[in-house]
Amino acid sequence: MIETISLRNYKGHADTTLRLAPFTLLVGENACGKTSVLDLLHDVSRAEWAFSADVLRRGASELSLSIEHRVAGGAHRIDARFSPRTGAASLTADAITVTDETGALGRRPCVVKVALDVDALARSSAPRTASPALGPRGEGIASVLAHLYLTDTPRFHRIVERLRAVVPIVRDVTFARVPKSETVTRMLSVEGQQVPITERVEAVHDALRFHFLDAANVPSSLVSEGTLLALGLLTALETVERRDGVIEGRTVTPVDVVCLDDLDRALHPRAQRALLTVLRDVQRETPGLQIVATSHSPYLVDEMALDEVIVLGRNATGVIVAKRLDDFPDGRLRAMLSAGELWMSEGDRWVTR
């Protein structure tokens, strides 16, 4: 679990420190740095230390970050500094340390960022590997679910059951095989030279079919945005890798953190609350899995504890400021109001003044 993040001069963040809970909701107005936090966590998790020069805050000469996180083996800490070079597209790493609590080499948290796209979720797909994986925007979901249905039916039914909890009108999700014309490129040898040849071929794709209380066999292209997004999110969480080692010939690192952007997107308030209940169930069934999400919904905030909500805003000079809702200074209001009421009534004024 990531416990604290400190970042300086990353995008709009001049000097921001966040204390995270096992489930943390980042809230605030548009363009106040919520998604930037998810981007940073994802960037730090990747194998290469590579930051585009564009992420450096305007006028700053150095980007620095510090992350403290804890796994079963103990506490780990990341400290890193990056600076620009004239004409370079990427920042240069000046100093990077990743240590455990003894000072020996530590490990970085493994972070997955989920930012789903409705069009990607609605498209049919063809499996490219024996065990298809969900793309970061939801690509390939039909093949992922079809594979789960064949190889681990209880997990597939768990996803559908959870979808039904969020969208009660759903009765089932099934599959169809559909023809699809694809453009492929192959190499042709002509007089000793390799020449790329593009041609159209017919393929067979997996496609989702939804069954509702009042309609059956509905193609995904006709399903509501909220239903598709909920299915994509639940599929991503169900298929997140928590094992360690070499599996099916590939090295697997267990995922520590899942970042969810716009958690409330296209969902009715009741569905938002139901989704939050499902997410907490997922965490109980997946020990050690941390969730960091962004939202604009007071209905979701109302279901959170005060120490699970971080409010971000910009002060009079445009600098991003962040505080947890349990840091609200008026204890009387903290006791009187729910988390959602407190956020809606006070906004980010108390954070930025």
List pLDDT tens digits, range 129-151. Answer: 888 999 989 999 999 999 999 99
The span from the CA of 142 to the CA of 128, in Å, is 12
Mean pLDDT score across all residues of the chain:
91
Beta strands 320-324 and 309-314 are antiparallel
Find out whether 312 and 30 touch, Cβ atoms under 8 Å. Answer: no
Sign of CA dihedral 194, 199, 205, 208: positive
Helix (H) or strand (E) holding 319: none
List pLDDT tens digits, range 262-288. Answer: 999 999 999 999 999 999 999 999 888
The span from the CA of 318 to the CA of 66, in Å, is 23
State the average pLDDT over residues 33-51. 89
Helix (H) or strand (E) holding 350: helix 349-352
pLDDT value of residue 244: 61
Cα torsion through 175, 176, 181, 184, rounded to 10: 40
Strand, coil or helix: 47? coil
Find out whether 106 and 76 touch, Cβ atoms under 8 Å. Answer: yes
Q: How confident is the model at residue 219 (pLDDT cuts 50, 70, 90)?
A: very high
* CATH number belonging to the domain at 2-110+256-352, selected among 3.40.50.300, 3.40.50.2300, 3.40.640.10, 3.10.20.600: 3.40.50.300
Which residue type, as a one-letter code, is found at position 300?
L
CB 172: neighbour CB atoms within 10 A? 13
pTM of the prediction? 0.90
Q: What is the share, in percent, of the chain residues with pLDDT greater than 70?
A: 97
State the average pLDDT over residues 232-236. 96
Q: How confident is the model at residue 249 (pLDDT cuts 50, 70, 90)?
A: low
Domain coordinates in residue numbering, the chain: 2-110+256-352, 118-238
pLDDT value of residue 218: 97
The span from the CA of 241 to the CA of 131, in Å, is 13
List pLDDT tens digits, range 147-160. Answer: 999 999 999 999 99
